[in-house]
Structure 1
Amino acid sequence: MAASFLLAVLPPPELATRLQAFRAAHHLQDAAAVPHLTVKARSGLSPGLEWQQTLRAVVARHAPLPATLGGPRLFGNGTALYVQARSPAAVALHVALLDALRERQDRVRFFGYEGPGLTLHLSLALQRRGVALPDVLRAAQTEFADLEGHPLGFTADAVTLMHKPGPGGFYAPLESWPLLAGAQVAGAQAGRPARPPAPQ
């Protein structure tokens, strides 16, 4: 598989540090190495980046995203261990991004889990040979018991474009796209109306 891209919200730095420390302690090495909450998976995001300007414009028009992160769970099909996430605003942005891609591509195909019923989540570990996710789940439930009782609330003011170079790699931040409030501030500081950045 060639290089791939996705759009995500990054969790608060303090939680990201805790998640990465947990992964290191349990020798977890997979594409979820940088904690992130996906708002648009790689489907429809071709390596040529011709969609970039369109989706940047969608992000720049969308308000910041309130979200909460809760306790760890395992998907029913056993493919991933994740931290629960809730954000109706992020789901709304996800749907807006899908709509924008449909408008510019006649036959774009999305993953079956994408759409209004998207289950937001922050992957902690992915299914891999030699990794017993049920065991890792039990350890995560102990480590992150505080999130189970008191979900962590935060508001994202940007969406991050993330890039994975190919098989065996992981998604890493490439650039940050400000949401509406951040775009307005950037525009005001520049002495001109806010607008989406030009594509790289």
Structure 2
Amino acid sequence: MKIDYFIGIVPPGEYVERVERFQRKWIRQSGVEPHITLKAQGGLTPDKKWLGNVKRVCENISPFQVSLGKPKYFGNNILYLSVDSAELHTLHQKIVKEISPSHELIKRYFELDDFVPHLTLGKEHYGGNISTPLSKDGLTEMERAAEEELTPYPAFKVDFVRVYELDIVKRRYETFLDIYLGG
């Protein structure tokens, strides 16, 4: 049994619901609630020894603002909402450096210099069969609809980060722990 974790930032509840309603038009079941990825799986081991390090980093970071923006693509097969926040980059770098994943894991999960904060809307192919794949046409349709249905894109205060754990029975990432910023 493989236990996977990652760390994300959750938009305000009403916007999470709005994105989930939007996604359900194309995707039967998403593998996780809408979130901004802060730290991918690399180095987040099942023993959870990294958790204390993440808590220490978060204690020393003040709450900050994040703005969601227009849809963009990774390649041509992952559609996401863009994210703007210098503080988010700083928090990402501090957490990655504290956890110290291998260079290979940093590259595999596009961290540090390759980090692009984002809120995924849909993917052409999902790994691990966690969700329903979309066609390229479906992604194009989703992009057009997002510009109408998900605007205005919100700006919001981040005062906690969420650690997600993969529930292998539900085939979905669920909340494991919320860690508040600034102690």
Pick aligned residue for 1:124 from 121, 134, 156: 121
Residue 196 of structure 1 is matched in structure 2 by none
Q: Could you tell me how far 1:168 is from its partner in structure 2?
A: 7.8
Inter-CA distance 142–28: structure 2 relative to 1 (3 Å threshold): farther
How many residues are treated as equivalent by the alignment?
173
Q: Could you tell me how far 1:120 is from its partner in structure 2?
A: 0.7
Q: Could you tell me how far 1:166 is from its partner in structure 2?
A: 4.0
State whether residues 27 and 134 of structure 2, in contact with CA within 8 Å, keep that contact through their aligned partners in structure 1.
no
The range that moved more, 54-63 or 112-121, is 112-121
Mapping of 1:65-80 within 5 angstroms?
Answer: 65-75=64-74, 77-80=75-78
Residue 25 of structure 2 is matched in structure 1 by 25
Q: Could you tell me how far 1:4 is from its partner in structure 2?
A: 0.8
Secondary structure of the corresponding residue to residue 46 of structure 1: coil
Secondary structure of the corresponding residue to residue 111 of structure 2: coil
Residue 148 of structure 2 is matched in structure 1 by 142
Q: Distance in 1 between matches of 2:140 and 2:28?
A: 14
The range that moved more, 126-135 or 93-102, is 126-135
Residue 14 of structure 1 is matched in structure 2 by 14
Q: Distance in 1 between matches of 2:134 and 2:155?
A: 34
- Flag structure 1 segments of 5+ consecutive residues without an equivalent: 184-200
The structure that has the greater radius of gyration is 1
Inter-CA distance 63–130: structure 2 relative to 1 (3 Å threshold): closer
Inter-CA distance 117–130: structure 2 relative to 1 (3 Å threshold): closer
- Flag structure 2 segments of 5+ consecutive residues without an equivalent: 126-132
Query: What is the letter of the counterpart of residue 181 of structure 2?
Result: L
Q: Distance in 2 between matches of 1:126 and 1:47?
A: 27
State whether residues 72 and 83 of structure 1, in contact with CA within 8 Å, keep that contact through their aligned partners in structure 2.
yes
Secondary structure of the corresponding residue to residue 25 of structure 1: coil
Q: Distance in 2 between matches of 1:68 and 1:50?
A: 32
Cα RMSD for the two superposed structures: 2.3
